[in-house]
Amino acid sequence: MSPSLAHTAARGAFFTILAQIAKIVLQLLGVVILSRLLSPHDYGLLAIVLVVVGVGEIFRDFGLTSASIQAPELTTGQRDNLFWVNAGIGVLLTVALYFLSWPIESITGEAEILGVVQWLAPLFLLNGLATQHRANLSRELKFRALAITEVTATALALAAGIAAALLGAEYWALVLQQLVLGTAMLVGSVIAGRWLPRLPSRKHSIRSMLHFGWNIVATNMLIYGGSQIDTVIIGLRFGTTSLGLYNRAFQLVMTPLGQVRAPMKGVALPVLSRVQEDRPRFDTYIASAQLALGYALGIPLALLVGLAEPVVSVMLGSQWGDAAPIVRCFAIAGMLTTLSYVGYWVYLSRGLGKQLFRYTIVTTLIKAACIAVGSMFGLVGVAVAFAIAPAIAWPLSIAWLARITPMPVRRLYAGAARVLLLAGGVALAAYGVNATGLPSVASIGVGILAGGAVVGLLLVFPVFRHDLKSLVEFVKLMLTR
């Protein structure tokens, strides 16, 4: 990777990480304040609607964000046409959700939900209008502008929600928060991008992008369905109490992990797309990205594996102690899925939408089979199966990709082995401290020190020192103006 592009990628990662940290802080602030002003019923109404909105959002984007970013060349006319496609889909989904409000009201038996659905329906239009503006910012590597837009929109939406809740708006405060967020994201993206679309034209074909986008839609729907398998099985077989334990553990581990990991795609995809024809640079970026993600996220997850009990006690309370082994399984799964995450970037950056869909079918079947077997051994059996599935799928993902596109297979396997070796040592050291029976807070503190000592010992080996040097150089690039 050229120095200028490497610096751009690093700075992009820096701003993306800062924005995500700010958004997580704002989300936590919203939970603390709004949960004291609103009732569980208010949140329940919004949660039901957002499930439907979440499905619609997959179709609203239609994979055209990724299609736009990964395209080796994108004319102004093609960008205009993509804008109108996303806008048109947004209009159709807005109308569809509006008229679905009556069936949703009938199914849920909640009279208030009718108005909530109808007022949230325009989210599809707002997001549809913003899609290509945001994609254009990513394509042009304007990550600082994206970060500022996201954080500002989130802060304005939270302020509006809190103000409305203080005025007694009840669940309408949450509706207003969502609408302000969508509006602010649209306005901010337009201002930052300084681009206004022209009328659509048949002279600029986007057929290949629509085909790519459809494969992404199918893949995302499959992923969405696959992500619900464990929840459905636990709810049906073990009841709401077990589902509550499982859900809390998931929210503690996998949700924050996703919030940190997923936005990095916005940095990686445009950079990989630019160097996709230069194999040495492409391979170096992929291998380096895997190490950066693996170490940065793997070490905290390894500590969580060893310190699950005291962490659950401190974060959730002693009454949630049964969630500890589930948290441990999620932390292991998080490490394994992180190692395979760069493969997802390769599929997108090289336009391998159809191949990604086929691979996702395989991984979904692997997960379904593991969880079906694991459910025979109770709730913890499902959690163990959740961790086993990526242990099977991760090495398969590298081999699968190598069959259809050039990949630095040896470097990826070797890098992952080093990450897992270090993470295993950290987890064992932390678990040893946990087993001493120290108070929860003390156990966490001493466990972190023990894990740090393992990292220090492994730095005796040159290969780990080389990895550390690469990570330090990457951090310097992020901090260099």
For 108-122, what is the mean pLDDT?
86
Q: In this predicted structure, which of 235-249, 275-289, 459-473 has the lowest mean pLDDT?
A: 235-249
The answer, yes or no, to whether residue 405 has pLDDT greater than 60, is yes
Backbone angles phi, psi at 347, to 5 degrees: -55, -45
Which residue, chain included where needed, has tokens 């439907």?
A: 52
Question: Contact, 100 vs 117, CB < 8 A?
Answer: yes
Distance CA 123, CA 231 (A): 27
Residues in the chain: 481
Residue type, 324: A
The answer, yes or no, to whether residue 368 has pLDDT greater than 70, is yes
Tell me how far the alpha carbon of residue 137 is from its chain's centroid. Answer: 19
The answer, yes or no, to whether residue 407 has pLDDT greater than 50, is yes
pLDDT at 138: 74
Residue 218 corresponds to which tokens in the numbers above? 């199918």
All residues at 6 or more sequence positions from 187 whose CB lies less than 8 Å from its CB, including other chains: none
456 CB burial (10 A radius; 0-12, 13-18, 19+): exposed
For 72-100, what is the mean pLDDT?
86
For 244-253, what is the mean pLDDT?
74
**Whose CA is closest to 254, among 337, 340, 373?**
337
pLDDT at 134: 83
For 124-148, what is the mean pLDDT?
82
Confidence band of 265 (pLDDT split at 50, 70, 90):
low
47 CB burial (10 A radius; 0-12, 13-18, 19+): exposed
pLDDT at 385: 95
| 11-15, 45-49, 459-463 — most confident range | 459-463
For 220-244, what is the mean pLDDT?
71
Q: In this predicted structure, which of 158-167, 382-391, 401-410 has the lowest mean pLDDT?
A: 401-410
pLDDT, tens digit, 9 for 90 and up, residues 96-111:
999 998 998 887 777 8
The answer, yes or no, to whether residue 481 has pLDDT greater than 50, is no
The answer, yes or no, to whether residue 195 has pLDDT greater than 50, is yes
Distance CA 116, CA 184 (A): 20
Question: Contact, 63 vs 86, CB < 8 A?
Answer: no
Residue type, 66: S
Confidence band of 3 (pLDDT split at 50, 70, 90):
low
Q: What is the SS3 assignment for the chain?
A: CCHHHHHHHHHHHHHHHHHHHHHHHHHHHHHHHHHHHCCHHHHHHHHHHHHHHHHHHHHHHCCHHHHHHHCCCCCHHHHHHHHHHHHHHHHHHHHHHHHHHHHHHHHHCCCCHHHHHHHHCCHHHHHHHHHHHHHHHHHCCCHHHHHHHHHHHHHHHHHHHHHHHHCCCCHHHHHHHHHHHHHHHHHHHHHHHCCCCCCCCCCCCCHHHHHHHHHHHHHHHHHHHHHCHHHHHHHHHHHHHHHHHHHHHHHHHHHHHHHHHCCHHHHHHHHHHHHCCCHHHHHHHHHHHHHHHHHHHHHHHHHHHHCHHHHHHHHCCHHHHHHHHHHHHHHHHHHHHHHHHHHHHHHHHCCCHHHHHHHHHHHHHHHHHHHHHHHHHCHHHHHHHHHHHHHHHHHHHHHHHHHHCCCCHHHHHHHHHHHHHHHHHHHHHHHHHHCCCCCHHHHHHHHHHHHHHHHHHHCCCHHHHHHHHHHHHHHHHHHCC
Confidence band of 456 (pLDDT split at 50, 70, 90):
very high
Question: Contact, 86 vs 64, CB < 8 A?
Answer: yes
Residue 62 corresponds to which tokens in the numbers above? 């239609």
The answer, yes or no, to whether residue 5 has pLDDT greater than 60, is no
Q: Where are the domains of the chain?
A: 1-227, 241-481
For 301-327, what is the mean pLDDT?
86
The dihedral through the CA atoms of 172, 174, 175, 181 has a sign that is positive
pLDDT, tens digit, 9 for 90 and up, residues 341-362:
888 888 877 777 778 888 888 8
The answer, yes or no, to whether residue 235 has pLDDT greater than 80, is no
Question: Contact, 116 vs 70, CB < 8 A?
Answer: no
pLDDT at 6: 56
Distance CA 180, CA 158 (A): 9
Distance CA 424, CA 156 (A): 42
Beta-carbon-side half-sphere exposure of residue 346 (alpha carbons within 13 Å):
28
pLDDT at 377: 92
Residue 128 corresponds to which tokens in the numbers above? 């549809």
Distance CA 206, CA 75 (A): 10
pLDDT at 43: 64
pLDDT at 263: 64
pLDDT at 42: 73
Confidence band of 1 (pLDDT split at 50, 70, 90):
very low
Higher pLDDT, 262 or 338: 338
pLDDT at 374: 93
The answer, yes or no, to whether residue 155 has pLDDT greater than 80, is yes
* Average pLDDT score, the chain: 82
| 6-20, 264-278, 307-321 — most confident range | 307-321
Higher pLDDT, 95 or 33: 95
The answer, yes or no, to whether residue 479 has pLDDT greater than 70, is no
In the chain, what is the straight-line distance between the N-terminal and C-terminal CA atoms, in Å?
18
Which residue, chain included where needed, has tokens 């948290």?
A: 327
pLDDT, tens digit, 9 for 90 and up, residues 413-450:
999 999 999 999 999 999 999 989 899 899 999 999 99
